[in-house]
Amino acid sequence: MNSFYNPMFLSKVLKIYMFDINRLKNLNEETLKKYQDKAFRNMVKYAYTVPLYHDKYKKAGVYPDDITKIEDIKKLPIISKNDFDNYTPDGIISPKTKRDQLIKITTSGTTGKSLSLYGDMYDVVTWLFWYIRVIKEHGVNWRKNKMAIIGDFAPHTIASGYVKRGLFSQLSSNRFFSNMQWLNTNDKPKDVIKEVNRFNPEFLGGYVGMLSHLALLKEKGYGDDVNPKWIATIGSILTPPLRKLLEDTFNAEVFEVYGATESGTIAFQCRYGNYHIMSDLVYPEFLKEGKPVESKEQGKLVITKLYGKGTPIIRYGAVNDIVAPLYEKCDCGMPGNLIYKIYGRDDLSLYFSGGRVLLPSSIGDIHGRLLYELKTNKVKHTRITQHSLTNIEIRLIIDKKLKEKKPSVEEIFSVLRKGYQEKVGADVKIDIKEVEKVSKKGPRIVSKVDKSTFKIKQYI
Ligand SMILES: [Zn+2]
């Protein structure tokens, strides 16, 4: 049955639209805390009906009644990817929830193994609402302003699940979203910019990689009518140089939205540039050896989702992002906690002598130089393999059509080599080669350094 014809469902959606989009702003620290406590209690109670959590909690000797406030989260065991695998598919949803009301979502599996979980129809709707919350903070009116959103519409993704299979199939009319243009980030950048140019949006949202490509194309004379006032990025980390590239090329206000497939939106940048945690929706912890880190110190993200009747996400430890919290308050006045910096996935990091770790944000910085220093998108594909603490192999596929164009392949090699050596030192061998083909399977960054004996001392 189509949920959108169900009056109960519609009235609940309307309520979320009217009240919940602005909820975070309307709460203060005290009322937010009360809200979190209650939402958390309810989630744990619900999770106890889900076999995966039921078994884990029982084994750990914790029961729903032991959980009265959000601080009690420490009593609960952390859930791993393995736990999910062991209970998928039937053990990760409550037997009380009807399966046909759920939508299956799969994580991208950039590091090999993907993971499936279930969202409910409210996840579908609210996914868009939380995005509206973010853009509203920046003055975008989602019913009025023309918006182009370049999502990942590969069949398995959260965007496909929630937007295509969820929202659009339910509303069965694109008229409702006539001020919105939905594009696919898996399409060629040249095709995408043609479409965006035709639509001439005021707001442009998409992945960092695609948006950087569009910036270069615009510099080359494509997309004269692509002049958005706002740009929102998702996906990989928006490094400062890439941010500047987007700001300068499009002359737009650029802000980052941070989330994970498992938990939905986690944080976003307000107009002051601070990363605000969606504290009424998620409760992230930042842990180092199981203990909370200090302000501005890197920790491993452990995430808890405070809503939804799909697969509960409580103390989920397998997003694998390294994030530093900021224990300060922002002048914009929004309650809840802040994030200092997002460093990216620790399973896509490289490891060096002296306990030094090069996180994806820094690797992105190095490769980003090709875009903002050399202004080139000649590199179609990159694969990085670290063989040892002192040996990195980089394989690049160069776009044949741009082969004759400047800069030369040697210049590209030299910028990368210099970038790595500045970060990791001259004693590390950087072996860069152009190849015809690379394996597209598995992660693009692989480190063969034995992590079990590696002691992390410093992120570089
Ligand atoms: Zn703020």
Over residues 136-181, the pLDDT tens digits come to 999 999 889 999 999 877 666 666 666 665 665 555 455 556 788 8
Q: Is residue 443 part of a domain?
A: yes
Half-sphere exposure of 228 (CA within 13 A, CB side): 30
Q: Is residue 431 part of a domain?
A: yes
Q: Is residue 377 part of a domain?
A: yes
Domain that holds residue 455: 349-459
What is the CATH classification number for the domain harbouring 404?
A: 3.30.300.30
Around ion ligand 1, residues with a beta carbon closer than 5 Å are 270, 272, 274, 330, 332
Q: What are phi and psi of 365, to 5 degrees?
A: -55, -45
Over residues 243-270, the pLDDT tens digits come to 999 999 999 999 999 998 889 899 999 9
Q: Is residue 122 part of a domain?
A: no
Find the length of the chain.
Answer: 460
Tell me the torsion sign for CA atoms 400, 402, 403, 408: negative
d(CA 182, CA 152): 10
| Domain total of the chain | 1
**204 CA to centre of ligand 1 in angstroms:** 21
d(CA 32, CA 453): 42
* Whether the Cβ atoms of residue 195 and residue 29 lie closer than 8 Å to each other: no
Residue 153 burial by Cβ neighbours in a 10 Å radius (0-12, 13-18, 19+): middle
Q: Is residue 436 part of a domain?
A: yes
Q: Is residue 195 part of a domain?
A: no
DSSP string over 237-283: ---HHHHHHHHHHHT-EEEEEEEETTTEEEEEE-TTS-EEE-TTTB-
**333 CA to centre of ligand 1 in angstroms:** 6
d(CA 326, CA 270): 14
Which tokens hold the place of 440? 């597209």
Q: Predicted confidence band at 286 (pLDDT cuts at 50, 70, 90)?
A: very high
**458 CA to centre of ligand 1 in angstroms:** 29
Residue in 30, 8, 35 with CA at minimum distance from that of residue 20: 35
d(CA 213, CA 161): 26
Q: Predicted confidence band at 455 (pLDDT cuts at 50, 70, 90)?
A: confident
Over residues 21-71, the pLDDT tens digits come to 999 999 999 999 999 999 999 999 999 999 999 999 999 999 999 999 999
pTM: 0.86
**258 CA to centre of ligand 1 in angstroms:** 15
* Whether the Cβ atoms of residue 239 and residue 366 lie closer than 8 Å to each other: no
Q: Which one is predicted more confidently, 213 or 3?
A: 213
